[in-house]
Amino acid sequence: MMPASSSPARGSHTLAEILSQPEVWRSCLHGLPQAAAFQAMQTKARSRRPWLFIGCGTSFYLAEAAAGSWSQLTGHPARALPASEVLLFPQSAQLAEPGLQSVIISRSGRTSEALRAAELLRDKYKVATLGITCALQSELAKTCESTIVLPAADEKSMVMTRSFTSMLFALVQLAAEAAAVPNLSSSLETVETALASTIEKWNDRVETFVASHTFADYIYLGQGPLFSVAREAALKVTEMSHSYAQAYHTLEFRHGPKSIVAPHTCIMFLLSESGMQAETEVLLEMKDLGGTIISVSDRAGDSVRQASDLLFELRTGVSEPFLLAPFVVPGQLLGYHTGVKKALNPDEPKNLSRVVLLD
Interaction site with ligand F1P (CB under 6 A): 56-59, 106-108, 111, 114, 158-160, 352, 354-356
If the CB atoms of residues 53 and 269 are measured against ligand F1P, the closer one turns out to be 53
Q: How far is the CB of 350 from ligand F1P (least distance, A)?
A: 13
If the CB atoms of residues 190 and 238 are measured against ligand F1P, the closer one turns out to be 238
If the CB atoms of residues 35 and 158 are measured against ligand F1P, the closer one turns out to be 158
Q: How far is the CB of 158 from ligand F1P (least distance, A)?
A: 6
* Pairing status of strand 265-270 against strand 217-222: parallel
* Pairing status of strand 245-248 against strand 146-149: unpaired
Helix axes 225-241, 58-74, angle to 10 degrees: 160
Q: How far is the CB of 106 from ligand F1P (least distance, A)?
A: 3
Q: How far is the CB of 65 from ligand F1P (least distance, A)?
A: 13
If the CB atoms of residues 159 and 178 are measured against ligand F1P, the closer one turns out to be 159
Q: How far is the CB of 133 from ligand F1P (least distance, A)?
A: 8
Q: How far is the CB of 205 from ligand F1P (least distance, A)?
A: 25
Q: How far is the CB of 319 from ligand F1P (least distance, A)?
A: 27
If the CB atoms of residues 38 and 61 are measured against ligand F1P, the closer one turns out to be 61
> Among all residues, whose Cβ is closest to ligand F1P?
57
If the CB atoms of residues 78 and 114 are measured against ligand F1P, the closer one turns out to be 114
Rounded to whole angstroms, how far apart are CA atoms 237 and 334?
A: 7
| Nearest alpha-carbon partner for 70 in 35, 46, 105, 40 | 46
| Nearest alpha-carbon partner for 296 in 263, 332, 350 | 332
Q: How far is the CB of 139 from ligand F1P (least distance, A)?
A: 11
If the CB atoms of residues 168 and 176 are measured against ligand F1P, the closer one turns out to be 168
Rounded to whole angstroms, how far apart are CA atoms 316 and 191?
A: 6
| Nearest alpha-carbon partner for 319 in 213, 190, 156, 215 | 190
If the CB atoms of residues 95 and 160 are measured against ligand F1P, the closer one turns out to be 160
Rounded to whole angstroms, how far apart are CA atoms 246 and 344?
A: 21
| Nearest alpha-carbon partner for 282 in 296, 271, 273 | 271
If the CB atoms of residues 108 and 143 are measured against ligand F1P, the closer one turns out to be 108
Q: How far is the CB of 318 from ligand F1P (least distance, A)?
A: 26
